[in-house]
Each structure stands twice: as C-alpha cells, then as structure tokens.
Amino acid sequence: PKDYVAVEDVCTACHTPQMILHSRTWSSWLGIFDQMSGYGAEATPEQWNHIYKYFQHTLTLIDVNDADEDELSGVLGVDEKTAIAIVRRRADRKFDSAADLESVPGVDKAAIERVKPRLLFVPLSEDQ
C-alpha cells in the first residue's frame, strides 16, 4: 500500500491507472521513469524508491535466464544469496519453467506462483 500511494501521488498526476498498470521489462520501466522525470514529474527520493518497488513487485516482466541479481531480488522477492544462487545455477543450465526455478534453495514457491505470469524463460523480441 505505501508503495502504491507514491505511484498515485506521482504517476497518476498525469496518467490514468489504465495507462500505466501493465507489465514491461525492468529496463523499459527505468526508461519510462527517466522520461517522466525529464518531463517534470516531481518526487522525493523516498517516493521514487516506493515507485520502483511497486513496479518491480507487481508489474515487471523478468527474463529469469538473463536478469542480474538486483532485478531477480526485486522482482522475485529473494535475498541476495538466493539471487546469486539463481545466477550460478543458470550458468550451468538455463531455467525452463517456474518449477525449475522453485528448485533453487531459498526460492519461495508461493512468491513464484504470484509472479508466474510475468516470468520469461525466453527473451522477448524487440517488437514485443
């Protein structure tokens, strides 16, 4: 709730929720945040932090086989140790499914189920 309050205060000053509440990759969201800031969106550092958390936890598509540790932590809700374990595991063998990801020690099955529709195991093409 605290994270969404910042989204309401900052993002919906110019955009309707329907315009912004859909999934994108994290790099795409970062570009949009930079663009918003360039157009004059004003937020405190604390508000930006809440906005980032909200979009990571609820609207970010994640390429499990390519994301860095910070993105894995933010989107999957895992700690740094678990994110590193995911990166190490995929160096040997790419992930094929949510069940495959859940096999990594430290990964919470319930958390993966919540983000399952946003998990990518094959990168999106440029036109998607």
* Digit-coded pLDDT (tens) for 100-117: 999 999 999 999 999 999
Place of tokens 């990801």: 101
CA 38, chain centre distance (Å): 22
**Which one, of 37, 66, 56, 49, lies nearest residue 115 by Cα?**
56
Tokens (6 digits) for 35: 């663009």
pLDDT over 80 (residue 127): no
Q: What is the pLDDT of residues 6-39, one digit of tens each?
A: 999 999 888 888 888 889 999 999 999 999 999 9
